[in-house]
Chains A and B, each alone.
Chain A
Amino acid sequence: QQQVRQSPQSLTVWEGETAILNCSYEDSTFDYFPWYWQFPRESPALLIAIRPVSNKKEDGRFTIFFNKREKKLSLHITDSQPGDSATYFCAASASSGSWQLIFGSGTQLTVMP
């Protein structure tokens, strides 16, 4: 059973548009939600992360919106740039119990110039 789900599997937007990547989770004990991005032939790297004490985390053009009641979160990329083209992974972990970082299957984002 996949504990962290992402949609869509792939997404194409035009330069300047806002890309919205979705993520949902099963385990209500998850309390840390990082997003990693991975460029082709590169390793994943941390992009931005949120903890449930807040429902929004912003870093430049990247914003996480978090809905604890629905167990959903989304990553919004405003003014998308071709350099944002990458695979984005939503992940989750818990401070106790099953603490391992669980990754979703990723959303491949392509930003067309």
Chain B
Amino acid sequence: EAAVTQSPRSKVAVTGGKVTLSCHQTNNHDYMYWYRQDTGHGLRLIHYSYVADSTEKGDIPDGYKASRPSQENFSLILELASLSQTAVYFCASSDRGTNTEVFFGKGTRLTVV
């Protein structure tokens, strides 16, 4: 079964601190994504990648960086965490970029204080 593993599952960070969220997939998928979910909103795409060593901006990239060092791993980096970045973050992967099922990790609940 497809597997996307996120770590940590929850984190409390201080304003202005650096936060790294990690994601590992064993699906052999080319595409990986980072989504953000806020209460009352759907999932919004932050960054995505379709090949190792390359990342692309999604709809809400400001304040976030991404890194794809290998096909299996995709990280989301908050260089200077802010209160507004408190949310649940989902990593996901898919076989191709469109018209295909997206598999989500279990999410990381980030609280910035």
Contacts and interface: CB of A to CB of B under 8 A. Distances in A.
Interface of A: 4, 6, 9, 31-32, 34, 42-46, 49, 51, 89, 91, 93-95, 99-101, 103-106
Chain A at the B interface: mostly helix, strand, loop or mixed? loop
Interface residues of B, number: 19
Contact of B45 (A31, A34, A44, A100): A100
Interface of B: 40-45, 48, 58-59, 90, 97-99, 101-102, 104-107
9 contacts: A32-B98, A43-B106, A44-B90, A91-B42, A95-B98, A101-B98, A103-B44, A104-B42, A106-B42
A46 B99 CA distance: 12
Contacts of A6: 42
B6 to A, nearest CB: 9
B40 A45 contact: no
A99 B56 CA distance: 13
Nearest to A3: B59
B48 A100 contact: yes
B43 A44 contact: yes
A4 B41 CA distance: 12
A94 to B, nearest CB: 7
Given A43-B107, A104-B42, A105-B41, A99 B102 contact: no
B93 to A, nearest CB: 12
Contacts of A93: 98-99
A85 B20 CA distance: 33
B31 to A, nearest CB: 10
A38 B40 CA distance: 13
Nearest to A33: B99
